Amino acid sequence: MNNELLLVFSLFALAGILNTLVASQRMVLGLYTLPTLFSAYQYGRRHATLTAVASILMLVLLAWNNPDLLGSQAQEQILGGKWFDMTIWGGTLIITGYLMGTLCDHRTAQVHELRETYNGVMMILRHFISKDQYTENHSYRVSVYASRIAEALEFSPERIEDVRTAALLHDIGKLDVSREVLYKAARLTNHELAEMRTHVDRGIALLEPVGGSLRRVIPIILAHHDKFDGTGYHTTRGEAIPVEARIISVADVYDSLTSDRPYRKAMSPFEAREMIVRGSGTDFDPDVVDAFLTTFSRGELEVPFVSV
């Protein structure tokens, strides 16, 4: 049992003892601890302490104006000046709020530290991707498109961040693909196509040792070339493909179509949009295509060429 769980258990045990020995008939006092516990969990130490003080003041005012609120002996205890029970309860509430809020503050600090570490790992990976300018800029634009499509699908901020991260790293495996194959101006041979397809598995091999938060995006990257009808890199189809991967698939194709490549010139955004619409239900998830069209109509996919 770690220290945090031990502290929480001790607080509940102490509260139970006090309720039994001090004021067992006044279990209503327990209801007034709930706002403090919620504040401690949600907002931290300072907010929890202020909530505890506010709860105590409110209960004192209510008990003063309504002596029967806390039980049959309330009038004798409150009006008679015997504040012992109230003092014990109020002090315990403030201490509970302070300690529980401290746990929340520690948790927030740890999450912030993990986020900084995560961003640092991302910067290191981005440094390797920057050796290939097209892959770097392509990955950046795909991350923007995919994030906006995810927003149109009303994803939570955490899931949008996973989509953005997976999009940034979806082509990292191309670092191990021959430069001649990547920049070949003519049609690829079957052998070269097979080598190009290995970039997905190579990317997963690069990311697997990292672990942590990045491990969540590995299934997304692994499936970003899977097609809705099962004819993609893997036979996975439909809802079996992670929806984040289905989003990146649309964003990836849209950016590829609207970018100059060694073997062809870029299409206009409207031509690319029509090609994606034609692939709805076969190459792409129809729901994702609808979200793509929503973002397109809002002008949210107008991201200029950037060098990052």
- Written as one string, the DSSP assignment of 175-187 is GGS-HHHHT-SSP
Closest to 49 in 3D by CA, of 60, 40, 58: 40
What local confidence, expressed as pLDDT, does residue 204 receive? 74
Look up residue 133 and give its two tokens.
């300018």
Residue 270 CA to residue 204 CA, distance in Å, equals 33
For residue 38, count CB atoms less than 10 angstroms from its CB and return exposed for 0-12, middle for 13-18, buried for 19 or more: middle
What local confidence, expressed as pLDDT, does residue 79 receive? 42
For residue 73, count CB atoms less than 10 angstroms from its CB and return exposed for 0-12, middle for 13-18, buried for 19 or more: middle
Per-residue confidence in pLDDT tens, the chain, 308 aa: 455 455 455 555 555 554 454 444 455 566 667 677 777 777 777 877 887 887 777 767 766 776 655 554 444 444 444 456 677 767 777 887 787 778 777 777 777 766 666 666 666 555 555 555 566 688 888 999 999 999 999 999 889 988 998 888 887 777 666 666 666 656 667 777 777 777 777 777 777 766 566 778 888 988 888 999 999 888 899 999 999 999 999 999 999 899 877 667 889 999 999 999 999 999 999 999 999 999 999 988 876 554 44
What is the crossing angle of helices 243-257 and 133-152, to 10°? 130
Sign of the Cα torsion 41, 44, 50, 56 reads positive
Which residue type is seen at 58?
M
Look up residue 229 and give its two tokens.
């009808």
Look up residue 23 and give its two tokens.
């004021």
What local confidence, expressed as pLDDT, does residue 80 receive? 44
Look up residue 41 and give its two tokens.
């969990």
Judge contact between 200 and 224, C-beta under 8 A: yes
Residue 189 CA to residue 208 CA, distance in Å, equals 30
What local confidence, expressed as pLDDT, does residue 135 receive? 61
Closest to 226 in 3D by CA, of 170, 277, 278: 170
What local confidence, expressed as pLDDT, does residue 7 receive? 47
Task: Find where tokens 């955004």 sit.
Answer: 269
Residue 249 CA to residue 103 CA, distance in Å, equals 41
Residue 96 CA to residue 12 CA, distance in Å, equals 9
